[in-house]
Amino acid sequence: MAESAPTQVRPDTAEKRGLPRALTYAGAIIAFLIGSGFATGQEILQYFTSYGYWGIFGTGLLVLVLMTYVCVELLTTGQRKQFARPSQIFHFYCGKHLGIFFDAFSILFVFLSFTVMVAGAGAVFQEHYGLSKYLGGIGLAVAVGITVWFGLRSLVDVIGRIGPLIVVIAVGLGLLGLVRGTGVVGGHHLLPTLELTQASTNWFLAGLSYVGFCMLWLAAFLTALGKTARTRREAASGGLLGGAVFSLACIVVGLGLLANITRVNGTEIPMLVLAADLSPLLASGFSVIILAGIYTTAVPLLWTVSSRVFAEKTVPFKSLTLGLAAAGTVIGLVLPFSQMVNIVYVVNGYVGILLLALMLVSTGRRAFRNRSADASPEVQSRRSADRVAS
């Protein structure tokens, strides 16, 4: 009996099968980045809006280009290299000694970022609900600790679904604020009269710092996520979509805040001010959305620290997760949320700029080697033979 021919998978069919996974990766990136800073508007206020036009369009476009590059590069490298440990990504880009530094530093920063999430949840409970910030901070830590207990797969399933919804609502609120506010032009001219907290001395450094601190979040997480991608195209598509959508969302929300700058100046949760101007009911609903955004970022942050020390789902991993959640709660509830954002994100963002530079150098060298290999006589001869044979 003759053997049947193997079933051939058409390229367009394979592409369609990979699309849902690419969308899941994009959703995970978006949800990971929105966190307390983006969802509350505090991060956007300090990094984008406070610089006026230059902050919205200069910082915004800089972040769009660099953030998209970072997401694509980390996901595809994770898919290609299949590192045994996600933290090996730092040694890949930085070498042995700097790799050890970034490995250790990133864990500290990721944990401190978790404390910012706790502070954000506390600020929402205090400023919007009139409740104790301790109730919000402790509640978040408990929810996150339980989620991380179940491991990375359930983590990705959760944040990949919630993230895009939060971005859609936040962008919608930014657009409504833009339409209903006093105007972007007026807001821009009012900036010199206001005492706004800025992330840096100028918009360009603010943009670099913003991408820098996001990279320290994303490095290990996207490396692990990229390892699950079946093809490079699948990983690259998810990174491109996730990085671009998040960056564009920052620009839209930044415009909405600028159009209402006198209303949001000095507030801990500026996005809730925009929502309350439209409807108190909308503000209450959006406060829940903000808490969801904080949760979706806090989960992978806590997972990243615990998984760096112990294998996930083991007893030591679970014990460390609960201990870190408790410690993060104590630290996160000491300072006001806006101060936590300005200290933790900005300082660590400057360290992240060095990692960004090393990544760009590595990418450039790889592209040069590939171009040189393609131009070699052996490759050209083989290609000519293939054309003749065809």
Q: What is the pLDDT of residues 318-377, one digit of tens each?
A: 899 999 999 999 999 998 999 999 999 998 999 999 999 999 999 999 888 877 766 656
d(CA 16, CA 26): 16
Q: How does pLDDT run along the chain (390 residues), one tens digit per residue?
A: 333 343 343 444 445 555 788 888 998 888 778 777 888 899 999 999 999 999 999 999 999 999 999 999 999 999 999 999 888 999 999 998 999 999 899 889 989 999 999 999 999 999 899 999 999 999 999 999 988 887 655 555 666 566 677 788 888 988 988 888 778 888 999 999 998 899 999 999 999 999 999 998 889 889 999 999 999 999 999 999 999 999 999 999 999 999 999 999 988 999 999 888 888 998 998 898 888 888 878 888 898 788 878 888 889 998 999 999 999 999 999 989 999 999 999 989 999 999 999 999 999 998 888 777 666 566 556 656 555 554
**C-alpha–C-alpha distance, residues 216 and 106, integer Å:** 6
Please tell me the class of the 21-360 domain.
Answer: mainly alpha
- Indicate the residue type of 221: F
pTM across the whole model: 0.83
Give CA–CA dist 365/128, Å, rounded.
Answer: 51
| DSSP 8-state code for residue 48 | T
Segment 51-90, tens digit of pLDDT: 999 999 999 999 999 999 999 999 999 999 999 988 899 9
Residue pair 211/65 in contact (Cβ under 8 Å)? The answer is: no
Helix (H, G, I), strand (E, B) or coil at 204: helix
Query: What are the tokens at 366?
Result: 């790889």
Residue 314, classed as helix, strand or coil, is: coil
Distance CA 290, CA 284 (A): 10
| Phi, psi for 9 (deg, rounded to 5) | -95, 115
| Cα–Cα distance measured from residue 43 to residue 141, given in angstroms and rounded to the nearest whole number | 21
Which DSSP category does 343 fall into? I
* Annotated domain spans of the chain: 21-360
Using CA atoms, how far apart are residues 252 and 230, in angstroms rounded to an integer? 33
Q: For 271-277, which contacts have Cβ atoms below 8 Å and span 24 or more sequence positions?
A: 271/39, 271/40, 271/41, 271/170, 271/173, 272/40, 272/124, 272/127, 272/128, 274/41, 274/173, 274/174, 274/176, 274/177, 275/173, 277/177, 277/180
Q: What is the CB neighbour count within 10 angstroms for residue 18?
A: 18
Dist. CA 311–CA 27, nearest whole Å: 25
Torsion, Cα 133 136 141 147, to 10 degrees, reads -170
- The percent of residues in the chain predicted with pLDDT above 90, rounded, is 51
> Strand runs (DSSP E) across 58-166, as ranges?
none
